[in-house]
Amino acid sequence: MKRSITFLAVVLAAMAASFAAGQQSNRANGPRKQVIQPPNYRPTPSPLSPAILVGDTLYMSGATGADPKAGQLVKGGFEPELRQIMSNLQTVLKSADMDLSDVVAVTAYIDDMANFNRFNEIYREYFKTEPLPTRSTVAVKELARGAHLELTMIAVRSRK
């Protein structure tokens, strides 16, 4: 009886060790995080990565309408900021060998919902093909550095 219990304990310990080694191996072989940082691209002084690529999925940080070289918000308010955001995000996508057709989700933060219809008109200039990305639009009290809007996106590399 003691031998059976000892044998069982040894077998269970070996199985546990094997399982633990397999789990560590899976983590080591899993998708790696890769920072996507276009050259000469620094539209914000905030401590963040413009995007992180994990496997074929790109997670982009919130972007405001700042010039990526000067780091200052473009002048003119809502519309110029939105167009600058889209340009900035396209630069990040291109650095990951992607484009707007790879975007699957967008979150928009707008400081004044009076701009919602204009937002949709301009947004549609950039996202022309179906299926359109999923989207959430949220009204906020204010955004960093006095921006009028901020967008975040998630993209998945399509297999072409």
The model's pLDDT over 123-160, given as tens digits with 9 standing for 90+, comes to 999 999 899 999 999 999 999 999 999 999 999 998 75
Is the bond into 131 cis (omega within 30 degrees of 0)? yes
pTM: 0.78
* Rounded-to-integer distance, Cα 40 and Cα 69, Å: 6
The model's pLDDT over 39-53, given as tens digits with 9 standing for 90+, comes to 887 777 778 889 999
| CA 91 vs CA 45, 50, 97, 98, 151: distances in Å | 18, 10, 10, 9, 14
Q: Which pLDDT score, from 0 to 100, does residue 9 have?
A: 42
Instruction: Give the list of residues 6+ apart from residue 38 with CB closer than 8 angstroms, or none.
Output: 50, 68, 91, 92, 94, 95
Q: Which pLDDT score, from 0 to 100, does residue 7 have?
A: 45
**Percentage of the chain with pLDDT > 90?**
66
3-class secondary structure, 36? strand
- DSSP letter at 55 equals T
Q: Which pLDDT score, from 0 to 100, does residue 46 have?
A: 77
**22-36, 57-71, 94-108, range with greatest mean pLDDT:** 94-108
Banded model confidence at residue 19, pLDDT cuts 50, 70, 90 = very low
Query: Homologous superfamily of 33-156 in CATH?
Result: RutC-like (3.30.1330.40)
The overall average pLDDT reported for the chain is 85
**Percentage of the chain with pLDDT > 70?**
79
Is residue 49 within 8 Å of 57, Cβ to Cβ? no
Domain ranges of the chain: 1-30, 33-156
Total residues found in the chain within this entry: 160
**Is residue 8 over pLDDT 90?**
no
Q: Which pLDDT score, from 0 to 100, does residue 42 have?
A: 78
